[in-house]
Amino acid sequence: MPDTSNIHINAGGNAGNTFDAIVIGSGISGGWAAKELCDKGLKTLVLERGRDIQHIKDYPTATLSRWELPHRGNITQQTLTANPLISKAAGYDEATQHFFIQDADHPYIQEKPFDWIRGYQVGGKSLTWGRACARWSPYDFEMPERDGYGQSFPLAYNDIKNWYSHVEKFIGVTGNKDGIPSMPDGEFLPPYELNMVEKHLQKTIKEKFNRHYVPGRWAHITEPLAIHLAQNRTQCLNRNLCMRGCPLGGYFSSVSSTLPWAKKTGNLTIRPHAVVHSIIYDEQKQTAVGVRVIDANTKAATEYFARIIFVNASALNSNLILLNSTSGRFPDGLGNDNGTLGKYICFHNYRGSMWGYVEGFDNWYYKVSKPVECIMANFSNVEKRDKDFVGGYVIYSGASREKFNEAAAPEPVGAAFKEALCQPGRWSVYMYMQGETIAKETNHVRLSADTKDRWGIPQLITSVSYDDNDDKMVNNFLQQGQAMLEAAGVKQITTHDSMQAPGLDIHEMGGCRMGKNSATSMLNEWNQMHHCKNVFVTDGACMTSTGSQSPSILYMAFTARAVSHAVEEMKKGNL
Per-residue pLDDT tens digits for 449-478:
999 999 999 999 999 999 999 999 999 999
Distance (Å, whole) CA 561 – CA 538: 10
pTM over 0.85: yes
Per-residue pLDDT tens digits for 511-552:
999 999 999 999 999 999 999 999 999 999 999 999 999 999
Question: Average pLDDT, stretch 197-206?
Answer: 98
Backbone angles phi, psi at 338, to 5 degrees: -100, 0
Closest to 528 measured CA to CA, from 557, 556, 553, 559 = 559
Amino acid at 34: A
- Cβ-contact 548, 391 below 8 angstroms: yes
Closest to 152 measured CA to CA, from 394, 514, 539, 508 = 514
Identify each DSSP E strand in 308-392 by its residue range: 308-311, 343-346, 352-358, 374-376
CA 559 to chain centre: 13
Amino acid at 40: K
For residue 268, pLDDT beyond 90 = yes
List alpha helices for 178-273, DSSP H.
196-209, 226-229, 258-264
Specify the pLDDT at position 6.
39
Question: Average pLDDT, stretch 420-445?
Answer: 94
List alpha helices for 328-442, DSSP H.
415-420
Element (H, E) at 476: helix 468-487
The overall average pLDDT reported for the chain is 95
Give 10's contacts (C-beta < 8 A, 6+ positions apart).
18, 20, 43
Question: Average pLDDT, stretch 392-421?
Answer: 85
569 vs 408: which has the higher pLDDT? 569
Question: Average pLDDT, stretch 2-7?
Answer: 36
CB atoms within 10 A of CB 270: 18
Confidence band, pLDDT 50/70/90 cuts, at residue 197? very high
- Cβ-contact 25, 119 below 8 angstroms: no
3-state DSSP assignment of residue 400: strand
Per-residue pLDDT tens digits for 296-321:
999 999 999 999 999 999 999 999 99
What percent of the chain stands above pLDDT 70?
Answer: 98
List alpha helices for 377-467, DSSP H.
415-420
Specify the pLDDT at position 9.
40
Distance (Å, whole) CA 575 – CA 287: 9
Per-residue pLDDT tens digits for 480-493:
999 999 999 999 99
Specify the pLDDT at position 402.
86
For residue 2, pLDDT beyond 60 = no
